[in-house]
Structure 1
C-alpha cells in the first residue's frame, strides 16, 4: 500500500529521487519499483561509512548473469550540501 501511494502522490512530482538507506530496506524498496521508476533513482543515501565506501549499488540479474544497473551511494552530508547549494541559487 505504501508503494502505491508513493507512486500516485509523490513520484509524479519528481523527475529523479534519492533513496534513503543503502541497506536491506533501501534495496527492498528499489526492487519494488518498476523498471521506469528505477531509472529515476539518482542515488542511495546513507550515514553508514561502510555502505558509503562501497560507492555503488549494483543490481544483478541472475537470468542474464550481468549487472543491470549501477547507482551511486553517497553520504547524507553530500546530499545536504548539494541541497543547500541548489536552494541558495534560487
Structure 2
C-alpha cells in the first residue's frame, strides 16, 4: 500500500481514490468480479474497491491530476444514501478487523461512537468492553445504556477516560478538529496503527 495507512479505508472519506477501475487491468477487473449492478442506490465503486482489497489489491499514490471529474446534479452518486455507505463501511470493518479481535474499546462516547456501537452485529457489540473519552460529563456518568436493545437487562457499557482504557481501539474522532489535542492524546499512548487502533471517523 502506498497511501499514508491501510486503515484509512475505514474512515468516512477513505483514501482519495476515484473509480478504482480507471487504472487497473482488464484481467484484474474480471478477477475482482466486475461491478455490483444492483441498480440505483448501490455504491458499486465502493463495493468494487473493498473486494479489490479483500483479494490482495493495493493502491498507489500519484501526486498529479490524472482525471478531471465534472459534478452535475443528475449524477448517479446522489442516489446513494449516506446510511448505505455507513452500513457497508461497518460491515467491512467487522470483516477485516473486528472478526479477529476478542474485545475492543470505542474511542468516543458521543454521537459517532454510539452510532457505531448500535450498528455492530450483536456478536461484535458484546466485544465492546468500554467507550473512552475526554469529556468529564460523559466519564462522570460512567456508562452508556443501549436503550434500543431487546436484551434484558439492557446492555450498559462503561465509559472511562482514554488513559484508563484498554486497547485495541476503534477511533470515532475526526482528525484535525481539536487543535492537535486528540492527536497528542493518542500519541502519548505509544500505540501502533493497524494493530492497536483503527480510525473509523
Match of 2:162 in 1: 76
Match of 1:35 in 2: 122
Does the CA-based 8 Å contact 1:52-1:75 persist in structure 2?
A: yes
Aligned residue among 141, 160, 163 for 1:54: 141
TM-score, normalising length: structure 2: 0.37
The 1-side partners of 2:161 and 2:104 are apart by 15
Match of 2:44 in 1: none
The 2-side partners of 1:40 and 1:29 are apart by 13
For these two proteins, the number of residue pairs brought into alignment is: 81
> Residues 22-51 of structure 1, C-alpha deviation per residue, up to 9 Å, x if partnerless?
011111111101111111100001011111
* Alignment RMSD: 2.2
Structure 1 stretches lacking a partner, 5+ long: 85-90
Point out 4+ residue stretches in structure 1 off by more than 3 angstroms.
61-64
Does the CA-based 8 Å contact 1:61-1:67 persist in structure 2?
A: no
Does the CA-based 8 Å contact 1:46-1:75 persist in structure 2?
A: yes
Work out which structure has the larger RCO, using CA pairs closer than 8 Å and 6 or more positions apart in sequence: 1
Structure 2 stretches lacking a partner, 5+ long: 1-87, 168-188, 190-201
Higher strand share: 1
TM-score, normalising length: structure 1: 0.78
> What displacement does 1:61 show?
3.5
Higher helix share: 1
